[in-house]
């Protein structure tokens, strides 16, 4: 049986009450992305990781939601 693969999609929204600047800094660190590129990630839905197992995608999703970034897992 072949395991299904998933993509992690940042929805381009943050949880109300979270500081946008802090979220941007944390995303830059987590994904090793230049801080200047982060605002584009938070403007529209963007696939941030591809070809993940469900467990790994769920770990990313839970971690991102803890810092205030809304995201979803897509097959």
Average pLDDT, the chain: 90
Give the angle 46-47-52 at the CA atoms, nearest 5°. Answer: 160
Residue 43 has a pLDDT of 87
Dihedral sign, Cα of residue 14, residue 18, residue 23, residue 26: negative
At 62, which CATH number? 3.30.1390
**Residue at token pair 């991102």:** 64
Give the pLDDT score at 2.
58
Q: What is the pLDDT of residue 38?
A: 87
pLDDT of residue 8: 95
Given this model, what pLDDT does residue 74 score? 93
In-domain check, residue 1: no
Whether residue 35 lies inside any domain: the answer is yes
Q: What is the domain extent for residue 17? A: 6-74
| Percent of the chain clearing pLDDT 70 (strictly above) | 97
Residue segments in the chain with a per-residue pLDDT below the cut of 70: 1-2
Domain count, the chain: 1
């Amino acid at each position: 049986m072949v395991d299904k693969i998933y993509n992690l999609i940042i929805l381009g929204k943050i949880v109300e009450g979270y500081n946008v600047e802090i979220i941007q800094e944390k995303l830059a660190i987590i994904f090793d992305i230049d801080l200047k590129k982060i605002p584009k990630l938070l403007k529209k839905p963007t696939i941030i990781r591809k070809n993940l197992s469900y467990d790994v995608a769920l770990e990313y999703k839970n971690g991102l939601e803890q810092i205030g970034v809304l995201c979803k897992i897509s097959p």
